[in-house]
Structure 1
């Protein structure tokens, strides 16, 4: 029996994303890199209505999709008036284990956009909260 493409390439995909993020954000370890990726994905998840949350998740590769949904409890979306409020929540999520690197939100969004298939990247970009959409549009 053959494995579906998502399963076959799952490890390669997350390794590629982590390598790209580690290099772009100049992070020291894979643990910090993974914590930052997971933190941004979870903060995005917290800000999306259910329909958009499902659409975002469905366009992530298999392992990243699992990380996105990890420990998820459905709730009303958190308001995101600006990038600063998103990054404050992200810093709170990462502390005390990881001090948030400057620009990590933009770096993670860049990796998501450039490492995703164009069709998937377009679908992801459409559902981002407005402050993150503005960052996304710069890449």
Structure 2
């Protein structure tokens, strides 16, 4: 039992590190809102990926974030055919635009930078390669 509890503690700690990293990059102080932004961007990325790439990306996430990544996923609706970065940004705006600290594209790029810093460079490159060109151009190169 104690080994299982250790797994829960470790993944909670890892997820908290992601949230703290993003909070530092955005300057946000409300952890709940930071997690909401992280979740919204990751789910939108997820909806652009083919199944194999989605699985490879999620395998590098802390277990708690992996659960959030797949929450609400509807396989028949993915991958989305959205071609423009403006549409991606608008979808995130609709999700977190009511957060007072939200700064639009710069906060979305902060999430991309957290992903760049916390998963392997090769996986980031694979994810970016699955995205439309405008979105690849929007996501900073790791």
SS in structure 2 opposite 1:9?
helix
Paired position in structure 2 for 1:133? 136
Shift of 1:136: 3.6
2:89 corresponds in structure 1 to 87
Say if 1:6 and 1:61, in contact at 8 Å, map to a contact too: no
Where structure 2 has 5 or more consecutive residues not aligned to the other structure, the ranges are none
Instruction: Map residues 1-139 of structure 1 onto 2, 5 A cutoff.
Output: 2-3=3-4, 7-74=8-75, 75-95=77-97, 97-98=98-99, 100-102=102-104, 103-116=106-119, 118=120, 121-128=121-128, 129-130=131-132, 131-134=134-137, 135-137=139-141, 139=142
How many residue pairs were aligned?
134
The alpha-carbon deviation at position 77 of structure 1 amounts to: 1.5
Q: Distance in 2 between matches of 1:124 and 1:65?
A: 16
Q: 1:82 to 1:115 in 2, by over 3 A?
A: same
2: distance between equivalents of 1:7 and 1:124?
26
